[in-house]
Amino acid sequence: MSRTRTALSAAAALALLTACATPPGTGPMGFFITSVGSGNGADLGGLGGADAHCQKLAAAAGAGSRTWRAYLSVPGAFPGPNRPAVASIHARDRIGNGPWYNAKGQLIARDLTHLHNGNLISKDTALDERGNVVKGRGDQPNEHDILTGSRADGTAFAPQTDTTCKAWTSSTDGSAIVGHHDRIGPLPENWAKSWNFSHQSAGCSQEALVRTGGSGRFYCFAAN
């Protein structure tokens, strides 16, 4: 009897620990794709402008009490004559630790590790702040290119090549790395299925983003 009680107590303790370690199946919105971009291509007003856009859209959806950050990276700068080096800014360092849920309360990722390896992002779950599905490959128009400027692990690229439309301030020269929220591309390779690191845009203007399958949207995450 004593052994039975001990075993039952151990099983109960394990179940409690598991429940505490596993996020609930539903939760408050902490992730969305912007329903609209800046309207000026990849010129988002820098990271500050992008964050403000996330905050504005979240507030309109009733989630303005949280602190929202755009999932965008910016490369640093090498040191030069009379100029110190500038550190890179990594998207993964800007968005808190999770867990994150979409506008319908569905789990997107438990934490940063899960987000960058095994997340639940798909066309059905990567919703905008109002809970609407974002058009993907096969829809008219295709808008599955989501601005990130990031590598697959959520970090910035080296500064030799423009991957962020001049730190999200250009709607003319440059290019930006995008991901595919619907996890679909023209080829079966992993890059075509990446949510945050698929290919570079044709340019930074609104027309260039549309031409490669986007509309200037980006991901927003609640950092608290």
pLDDT (average), residues 7-32: 61
Q: What is the pLDDT confidence band of residue 77, given thresholds at 50, 70 and 90? A: confident
pLDDT tens column, 41-72: 999 999 999 999 999 999 999 999 999 999 99
Smallest CA-to-CA distance from 50 within 68, 62, 66 is with 68
In a domain? residue 59: yes
In a domain? residue 20: no
| Contact by Cβ (8 Å): 217, 136 | no
| Contact by Cβ (8 Å): 204, 212 | no
Q: What is the pLDDT confidence band of residue 79, given thresholds at 50, 70 and 90? A: confident
Chain mean pLDDT for the chain:
91
Residue 6: what pLDDT?
44
CA atoms in the 13 A half-sphere facing the CB of 83: 8
Compute the distance between CA of residue 45 and CA of residue 53 in angstroms, rounded to an integer: 9
Residue 80: what pLDDT?
85
Residue 23: what pLDDT?
61
In a domain? residue 13: no
In a domain? residue 122: yes
CB atoms within 10 A of CB 164: 30
| Contact by Cβ (8 Å): 127, 134 | yes
Checking if the pLDDT of 73 tops 70, the result is yes
Compute the distance between CA of residue 187 and CA of residue 220 in angstroms, rounded to an integer: 27
Q: What is the residue range of 125's domain? A: 28-222
Q: What is the DSSP letter of 224?
A: -
Q: Could you give the maximum distance between any two Cα atoms of the chain, in Å?
A: 78
| Domain count for the chain | 1
pTM: 0.89
In a domain? residue 10: no
In a domain? residue 18: no
Checking if the pLDDT of 102 tops 80, the result is yes
Checking if the pLDDT of 139 tops 90, the result is yes
In a domain? residue 14: no
Compute the distance between CA of residue 184 and CA of residue 187 in angstroms, rounded to an integer: 8
Task: Report which of residues 142 and 2 the model is more confident about.
Answer: 142
CATH number at residue 53: 3.10.100.10
In a domain? residue 1: no
pLDDT (average), residues 180-207: 95
